[in-house]
Amino acid sequence: MGKLRILLFVIIAIISFIACEKDDICVDGDTPLLIIQFYDNENPSELKAVPSLRVIGLGQSSTVNTITDRTSLDSIALPLRINEANTGFILIADSADEDDLETGNNDTLTFNYSTLEVFISKACGYIANYDDLGEQLTTDNENWIQNIEIVSPLIQQQDSAHVKIFH
């Protein structure tokens, strides 16, 4: 009876060690953000910061948390919705408040894509990559965004721009 318990303990211990991965800490399990760089419309090879930029997710009441609100930036990283086929943003140039009303120039930009689930590991689980990236700018009388270029329709890394916006 004692040998049976020892044998059972050894079998359970072996199964436990086999079921574990080498390292159960997830180091590369992040869904990539959409990287946007802003360029000068008159000199398309030059980066140009958007003054006092504010970005609000469409249908949201607060600004996105991946950038500092109302700063002059020439590059931003935005999260896309994993379980939707599109994500919209209100990009506000020269953002300021006057009597609790936004006085900046608002442009609404929607990104369309398909979501690709990628298994990373047991520790990380799945992440989402995005493919077939497209854009739609809502036009109005005072668009500060003049042109948009999709540089990479596949979003699986964050080391370079996926979209160029000219203003």
pLDDT of residue 30: 87
Domain spans of the chain, in order of start:
24-166
Average pLDDT across each block of 10 residues of the chain; the chain has 167 residues. List them in order.
67 66 68 97 97 96 94 97 96 93 95 94 89 96 96 95 98
* Cβ atoms of 33 and 158 closer than 8 Å: yes
The reply to whether the predicted model has a pTM over 0.85 is: no
d(CA 142, CA 139): 8
Q: What's the pLDDT at 68?
A: 95
In 3-state terms, what secondary structure has residue 74?
coil
Whole-number pLDDT of residue 14 = 72
Give the strand pairing for 75-78 and 101-102.
Answer: unpaired
pLDDT confidence of residue 120 = 86
CA distance 50 to 40: 10
Measure the CA–CA gap between 80 and 66, rounded to whole angstroms: 11
